[in-house]
Structure 1
């Protein structure tokens, strides 16, 4: 099969009558033939509005089939810039201005503050009008003014398909440009790791303004000739109903979603039995080992933990589908080259701890218009991930933490991931997040936020005693807080940095 290097090219091998995009509202599927036609009409419509290859188009749409279809179709003509629909007007103004957006796509009838932001900045508004009489995700674009695109026609391999902002903590976010060659390579890598075929359907519960949902759910499915079934977004109360009604073969999610699903799975064993999954996939944050083992036991299917980041168009490593899968480790290199590097740029041998670095066809060439950031991010042709880790004797990567998130307790370095794993082993613990608490003498001290399982009770002292027989004294949390829910970012990722301040905790 040809290794297509554009998003439109990925659609070429899908059988014309086979479902490409499905939806949970009971609508008929959008077939590959219809999706290819939609791409063609969208390219023509954007070109007629003066928008072509390299022009950035902001997309603010709710999760669902139209968002998936719009990403595929708009990227085939221009550069997509999906934005979080929950942003406030000021945030939309910042991102649209920073992106130098040439147009903004919004849903007709949706009074999103993005409209006001676009109008204030003079960004042409294109209204997406769903074609409810056709397959799920079918749409037309209306609005804008007639114009001539500087670079018309279908996008090519080295054109930028997608730009996303990094999620920095305090610094101005950087713009990550991903070419068609980058995103299609990553989609293929995921397909190989999961052995995807045209018979597979992914239930997408991830936000589609996020790299995980766009590449791992949508593009990997289309690259394999399979289908993606689009939901309105993650909903724990409806998840098992969707599984029962749609009969997907797999889903991909972040650990917080998996943990929420696990909490309800025991009561849904009848659905799991009659609508079995071929596999589950986890990425975008570290999944505690006990959670992985419990999910595999309950679903009777392999849980494939993968390691990804935006700058790599998502996937970098993956646990093998056929095994062995190692709980707490993110697997073997699964696409790009992956190595561990010392501070001086030396590639370290197996078993040595250092910074995880990558290079390969899915890795971006550099941040947009940011030479200072690029000088720091690349060394000897390798992209520096900012993660610390080591390769074990079997070549599996163990992440020991984000370099910025490592807790420096009086010179002793504590890996939050290691402590998370130990605390998660306690039978009363549903979720654990280890974080740094500022300390006058030590610089930082170890803290932990805990969510208990339903009906379980646990004291701070009991949990610290449990940890003390499994961890060195300096790694045992000095402060444990019990919460109904741990604060998360927009994509469901738990937020470690600044958590002590957010919770008002000091020592």
Structure 2
């Protein structure tokens, strides 16, 4: 089995198509390997090599996919959300200790300003008008020396931040072997072959798109066709033009697709979809059933998270083997139920879901407290606590029954409530704030905040949201702000986020 990203691509035929995009020629596997060599040379010339960290801030599309795959064969990749504000970029680039930031040639926005202030090398990505999908060149004025050895299986390939229960996001390093193992796990559970074509509509700064769509496809010699993001109005045109055998998306995307399906019946009829995949948030059972009814193809719900290099469980591919409301059976790592407090596995019906396997991160970077809380040893293995509560049924299917952590899952985007607290607390009129999850019919959860004002202050919900929107990416901005005289406390006097929406009588207003 391949144990590095480079070895994933090594054996596929030179002329076979690898990366595609709307109105672009296909980049072949030979072309992708040649691009990796060119990128390696450019990075080495700039003094960036094995172990050095490269933040990637690019729009969704084939260049982002190719940049991740090629840069990770030389250095450490750290994709960042292009929608971040300057302060967010400054935090993440500094926290990562990035040596360089990759930007489009004409990007002088927030990421550029943050990189300039930090004195980080800027690598400019250029695309020729007639270039194949994903083909690009990297340019910089900086030169230097570095370790030019190729990364090994035990080297870090990908770094992502995950929102934690502290205000500071945790750094998740994923090894070359973690990424390769996860790509193989996903490909195996979906029975992917070189004949498959994935249409990617997922953001490529997120583990779902990077691993489920791009890496698993390229591991099997298939084709990944990269849309410029998700757009329900353009989806069916892309479906016609791409002619994929599958696509993967989050539940909100699937729901938007279903809303436009009736007027695109001819395209659906002509489609050759072998299956549809959903992950990153729970897919409501009725949505799974409606997707199957609409497309006539199995809907495979997967259960994943960043620390597992994405996939942990998956519904089986065999027609009729999918269980609406269940996230499937273990599909790669070993998945067990553990005591929610004690460091031990249990045979109990309900408990915390834990995982162990070659796709699981070795641990959070420079965060011994988080590692002590989230990892434990049992039965000769190292187990990671997912923070989710669940149970297995008699057939071995896992269902999620609750969350033990306070993270807000907004349609697959994870939001740390304490991060939002920290931003809103800086408002001069706010004395106290608690950010919490508000149930939402499509997103699963929405971001909300309860606020207590300082004596004599008078600001509106709109004022609070505007303040947040200048400092946070849009998906983190509270959509509901409740201004209170006092925030309800639990029995011990502590502010409790979980269940706060119910306590404030907001649940019905979210639907």
Q: TM-score range by the shorter chain?
A: 0.7 to 0.9
Preserved contact between residue 132 and residue 138 of structure 1 (Cα < 8 Å): no
Q: CA deviation at 1:446?
A: 11
Corresponding residue of 1:184? 180
> Residues 178 and 450 of structure 1: is their aligned pair in 2 closer, same or farther, counting only changes over 3 Å?
closer
- Report the Cα offset of residue 276 of structure 1: 2.7
Identify the residue that residue 199 of structure 1 maps to in structure 2. Answer: 195
1:308 corresponds to which residue? 304
> d(CA) in 2 for partners of 1:44 and 1:316?
36
SS for the counterpart of 2:63 is: helix
Give the aligned partner of residue 357 of structure 1: 354
Q: Counterpart of 1:135?
A: 132
Distance 1:447 1:363, change over 3 A: closer
**Corresponding residue to 1:289 among 279, 285, 288:** 285
2:238 corresponds to 1:237? no
Show structure 1 runs of 4+ deviating over 4 A. Answer: 445-448, 490-493, 497-505
Deviation at 1:166, TM superposition (A): 0.4
Deviation per residue, 1:15-63 (Å, 9 max, x gap) = 1111100001x11000000000011111121111111111110110000
Does the C-alpha gap of structure 1 residues 125 and 451 become closer, same or farther in structure 2, counting only changes over 3 Å? closer
Q: Which residue of the partner structure matches residue 391 of structure 1?
A: 392
Q: Trace 1:372-383 onto structure 2 (pairs within 5 A).
A: 372-380=369-377, 381-383=382-384
Q: For residues 332-357 of structure 1, what are the alpha-carbon distances to aligned partners after superposition, in whole Å with 9 as ceiling and x for unaligned?
A: 100000000013233222x6100000
CA gap of 1:87–1:405, structure 2 versus 1, over 3 A, is closer
* 2:42 matched residue in structure 1: 45
Match of 1:54 in 2: 51
Matched-pair contact (CA < 8 Å) for 1:22–1:29: yes
SS in 2 for 1:225: coil
Q: Which residue of 2 aligns with 1:260?
A: 256
State the alpha-carbon separation in 1 of the partners of residues 261 and 304 from structure 2. Answer: 26
Deviation at 1:111, TM superposition (A): 2.6
Aligned partners of 1:94, 1:66: CA distance in 2, in Å?
Answer: 25
Mapped contact 2:84–2:473 kept (Cα < 8 A):
no
Give the distance between the partners of 2:441 and 2:280, measured in 1 at CA: 20
Q: Give the TM-score of the pair, scaled to structure 1.
A: 0.81
The counterpart of 1:93, out of the listed 76, 84, 90, is 90
Matched, 1:145 2:146: no
Aligned to 2:79: 82
Change in 2 beyond 3 A, CA 1:503/1:333: farther
1:157 equivalent to 2:158? Answer no
- Give 1:501 shift: 4.4
Greater Cα shift, 397-406 or 197-206? 397-406
Residue-by-residue CA offset, 1:159-200 (whole Å, 9 max, x unaligned): 111000002365200000001100110000000011101011
Deviation at 1:6, TM superposition (A): 0.9
Provide the aligned length of Structure 1 versus Structure 2: 433
Contact 2:164 2:407 in 1 (8 A): no
Unaligned stretches of 5+ residues in structure 1: 408-415, 421-444, 453-486
- Post-superposition shift, 1:310? 0.1
- Specify whether residues 365 and 169 from structure 1 end up closer, same or farther in structure 2 by C-alpha distance, changes over 3 A only: closer
Deviations 1:296-336 (A, max 9, x none): 11000000000000000000000000041110000110000
The aligned counterpart of 2:267 is 271
SS at match of 1:90: helix
Gaps of 5+ in 2: 412-435, 444-468, 485-500, 506-511
CA distance in 2, matches of 1:131, 1:169: 44
State the SS of the aligned residue for 1:13: coil
Instruction: Tell me the distance in 1 between the aligned counterparts of 2:145 and 2:385.
Output: 40
Q: CA separation of 1:447/1:162 partners in 2, compared to 1, >3 Å: closer, same or farther?
A: closer
CA distance in 2, matches of 1:330, 1:371: 30
Tell me how far apart the structure 1 counterparts of residues 407 and 162 of structure 2 sit (CA, whole Å).
20
For normalisation by structure 2, the TM-score amounts to 0.80
With 170-179 and 27-36 compared, the bigger mean Cα shift is at 170-179
Cα displacement (A) at 1:274: 0.9
* CA distance, structure 2, for counterparts of residue 390 and residue 447 of structure 1: 24
Which residue is 1:404 aligned to? Answer: 405
SS at match of 1:81: strand
1:491/1:307 CA distance change after superposition, 3 Å: farther
Contact in 2 for aligned 1:202/1:248 (Cα 8 Å): yes
Q: Is 1:215 equivalent to 2:211 in the alignment?
A: yes
CA change 1:174–1:187 in 2 (3 A) is same
How large is the Cα RMSD of the aligned pairs? 2.8
Native 8 Å contact 1:47 1:153 kept in 2: no
